[in-house]
A and B are shown apart, each in its own frame.
Chain A
Amino acid sequence: MAQATNETIFPPPLVEGGQTFASITDTVCRIVEERPTLGWFAAFGVANVGLLMLLVSIAWLIWEGTGIWGLNNPAGWGWAIVNFVFWVGIGHAGTLISAILFLFRQKWRTAINRFAEAMTIFAVICALVFPGIHVGRIWAAYWMFPLPNQMGMWPNFRSPLLWDVFAVSTYFTVSLLFWYVGLVPDLATLRDRAKNKIAFYAYGILSLGWRGANRHWQNYERAYLLLAALATPLVLSVHTIVSFDFAVSLVPGWHTTIFPPYFVAGAIFSGFAMVLTLAIPSRKIFGLEDFITVRHIENMNKIILVTGTMVGYAYAMEFFIAWYSASEFEGFAFVNRALGPFGWAYFIMVSCNVITPQFFWFKKIRTSIAATFILSIFVNIGMWFERFVITMSLHRDYIPSSWDYYQPTAWDISTLIGSFGLFFTCFLLFLKFLPAVAMAEIKGVLPQADPHWEGYHKEHAKEAHHG
């Protein structure tokens, strides 16, 4: 029957370029086994400079106190919380891809889940830096934990800031476990191919004696499913609790009931943009185009369109209800957000988060790799600004005489840039030492993995012929 478009009823194959089991192993392992390229060293050097910047900024912060940041009296929360929420949000896409898409049996996830999960772990590490350092008095950082101080006083259990510590650390632990469990079969492959002793023992210990036995696979798949089922509510709870940090307060513009799902949608939105920002250069540099195909990129762009539109929906609801509530303070907070001194930030937020993804309505743009890369960076910027705009609800509080403007200092900026240094240092090390694509999983989605695959007859015939 004539087809209206060039689409097909069933989706195209997940792996392109006639890859076989052996060629997948070769392509992925080569990245780890070969000497790093000059480009890798250059990138690693730049990332290290960033990391150093972060360390210096933190050292100066601990020495001098939070006064080195641009915080002032109404705006008592500045870039530290913005960066924290930004990085936690980035992490969410990794878990969405690895756990939620797994539960929904979305097999296209196999090409991207490994490094999306790696991204999650490094993003959460970056995020965890900020609550740790923003206390200012670093020797009191243990107050974040449910430990009584020398006066026998416990932290306030009703504070979402305390729940954040539980939620993020649980999330980090489960994400790490999930990632590691998924890595085990691939680590064993690297062990089996290792050419030097150090690699052999290192991968050998990490692969926990994996032999690819039937029993191993059965346990592995059961564990993977259970971890996916555990990670799913966890990932939703993390950004829900992050949203509680704001929404439980009495600050107009913060206290609104839609915050939890709105934050989760925004987190997934920003995380997918980051996955694309990382995947597009990586697939090119390491020759992974057969695995991370245009179809994968298009699917991710669709998720960006959906979640970006959800975020737009939340913006609209907030505005509508701010008016509908007839609350003078609610109404002012939103008018001030759009037209006040930080109107420029609001403009960046709306144009990057709501308008940018609308380009993905067009298939041409969705399937264009260059356009996707550029738009993904816009989304990253927009989502940072979203958190900035929300945090800056503080700058005009209930007492007009205390209104002020938030001006970041050089240390604010160096800490933010430095956190990217930390992230990319970790990410580049990951690319060098661990398989960036889940080899075992991607083999499972090849047509050859189906025991009834037609091609077997041909291959058997060939073998018989060679005899």
Chain B
Amino acid sequence: MAGLHHKSFTDEPRLAPAVVKKAFVTALAVGGVGLVASAAALAMGDEVRRRFFFSYLAAFALVLTISLGALFFTIIHHLTRATWSAGLRRIAENFAGLMPVVAVLFVPVVLGIHELYHWSHEAAPLHDPIIGHKASYLNTGFFIGRAVFFFVLWSAIALFFRRNSVKQDETGDTSLTFKMRKLAPVSTLAFALSVSFAGFDWMMSLDPHWFSTMFGVWTFAGSMVVCMASLGLAALWLTKNGALTHTITTGNLHDIGKLMFGFIVFWAYISFCQYFLIWYANIPEETAFYLHRLEHGWGSMFKLIVVGHFALPFWFLMSRHVKRKRIGLGLGAGWMVLMHYVDLYYVIMPSNPDLHGMTFHWLDLTTLLGVGGIYVAFFVRQFGRDAAVAHRDPQLVASMEYDNA
């Protein structure tokens, strides 16, 4: 690092416009069809209507956690003054920069508040003393207020980092790096608290009697798994289209794989501890959550998560060769995005009071395609406007030379 660089940045910093356009149009078409098909459910009776909101929430949670994880990745890059991730930073900034889009995607959740959140019914706090106890926190006004606050906060942080990063592309000003580093610590603090409460609000309160101090950490852990997986997929997509082939090195892909592996283990640790402590103490108000999710067929999804979200990727991604091969990392990352969705589905869907067991619905697919398509379209669009890499980042060349093989 002592100024003796053997490499230099020679790639074209932008993605070819034709590639962006094709991906954007495809994703937008898929998203549009998905959303229109899903919206049809709103006119198909109460039960389908409620199912729509539950399916939608699961799909929304998937894209939300990608952006949240990417926001944390961006912040932590500056906080730790990391070098290795300089070439990948823009991808994370683009995921995190979608926060305003995610905020718009949240609107249907607010519209479906009565279908989703049983505590939001006016009568609920009156008839149910437990909900009554927490009515000062769980009430529609405060719930929406908090959501607005979270999205404003996350968007502000995400756009601060993305704008300064893009500005550096033009000016090459090193002081921007220091500026971003300066805001990283306080952003971390704001992030940790807001993510926890967002997890409590949007997922934990689906079952308003149930509580777990670990839930905020669980939300974070899943976000990081899906963030690393998405980062890996996006890096593979860019390089496959001939962009940044010399900038995003095998070493970078390997490091993405290592962090994904690490966060899979972290997620497993957090999920296991939460389950285990509740199982061991065996107090009815806590076990109700898992008991419900182990009966009526949901138990098979529990097993799928244990194997698919932990055991399988743990052994698969342990090997150095798998993480350094494009196909290996791509398979692992794609699988983890799917498994993360299953994990969210498993927490969200059983709270639907209409369901009497594990049943799938075409709405699960259409909402996933709808929300996912829109999200991917806006993600891709950013590559049309700005460079695909922070190409004047003073650490970029060092990140290209860095390889912990």
Contact = CB atoms under 8 A, between A and B. Distances in A.
Contacts of A260: 269, 273, 277
A385 to B, nearest CB: 21
A257 B213 contact: yes
A26 B270 CA distance: 47
Contacts, number: 97
Given A10-B1, A250-B283, A324-B134, A309 B217 contact: no
Contacts of B4: 452, 454
Contacts of A314: 213
A261 interface: yes
Interface string B273-286: 11001101101010
Interface stretch (A1-9, A131-139, A202-210, A339-347): A1-9
B217 A258 contact: yes
B133 interface: yes
A240 B273 contact: yes
B398 A105 contact: no
A269 interface: no
Contact of A248 (B178, B213, B277): B277
Contact of A3 (B178, B213, B270, B285): B178
Interface in B166-182: 172-175, 177-179, 181-182
B81 interface: yes
Given A257-B277, A260-B273, A447-B2, A9 B212 contact: no
A182 B24 CA distance: 53
The listed residue with most B CB atoms (<10 A of its CB), out of A9, A233, A244, A256, is A9
Contact of B178 (A7, A10, A244): A7
Contact of A10 (B193, B280, B398): B398
B365 interface: no
A310 to B, nearest CB: 8
Nearest to B81: A11
Secondary structure dominating the interface of A = loop
A324 B398 contact: no
Given A2-B175, A7-B178, A326 B130 contact: yes
Contact of B211 (A250, A321, A450, A452): A321
A97 interface: no
Nearest to A327: B285
B196 interface: yes
Nearest to B134: A324
Interface string B116-135: 00000000000001100110
Given A9-B395, A240-B273, A326-B130, A317 B174 contact: no
B185 to A, nearest CB: 7
A248 B281 contact: yes
Range of interface residues on chain A?
A: 35 or more
A217 interface: no
Nearest to B275: A257
A61 B145 CA distance: 59
B10 interface: no
A443 interface: no
A180 to B, nearest CB: 25
Interface string A102-124: 00010000000000000000000
Contacts of B178: 3-5, 7
A422 interface: no
B129 to A, nearest CB: 8
B360 to A, nearest CB: 29
A158 B212 CA distance: 23
B133 A4 contact: no
A92 to B, nearest CB: 15
B137 interface: yes
A231 to B, nearest CB: 14
B40 interface: no
A386 interface: no
B280 A321 contact: no
Nearest to A256: B213
Interface residues of B, number: 47
A313 B212 contact: no
Nearest to B214: A257
Contacts of B283: 250, 255
Interface in A410-467: 447, 450, 452, 454
Contacts of A452: 4
Contact of B213 (A4, A317, A327): A317
Nearest to A450: B2
Given A1-B174, A9-B395, A321 B81 contact: no
A318 B269 contact: no
Contacts of A326: 129-130, 133-134
Interface string B197-217: 000100000000001111111
A7 B193 CA distance: 29
Given A255-B283, A257-B214, A9 B174 contact: yes
Interface in A270-328: 309, 313-314, 317-318, 321, 323-327
A451 to B, nearest CB: 11
B394 interface: yes
Contact of B273 (A11, A249, A261, A309): A261
B134 A9 contact: no
A247 interface: yes
Contact of A259 (B130, B265, B277): B277
30 contacts: A1-B173, A2-B175, A3-B175, A4-B182, A9-B174, A9-B177, A10-B1, A10-B398, A233-B265, A248-B277, A248-B281, A249-B281, A250-B283, A255-B283, A256-B277, A257-B212, A257-B213, A257-B277, A257-B278, A258-B213, A259-B273, A260-B277, A261-B269, A261-B270, A309-B189, A313-B193, A317-B196, A321-B212, A325-B211, A447-B2
Across chains A and B, which 4 residue pairs bring their CB atoms closest together, nearest first?
A258-B213, A257-B214, A326-B133, A4-B178
Interface of B: 1-2, 4, 81, 83, 129-130, 133-134, 137, 172-175, 177-179, 181-182, 185, 189, 192-193, 196, 200, 211-217, 265, 269-270, 273-274, 277-278, 280-281, 283, 285, 394-395, 398, 404
Given A9-B394, A257-B274, 8 more contacts: A4-B178, A4-B179, A247-B277, A257-B215, A261-B269, A321-B211, A323-B134, A327-B285
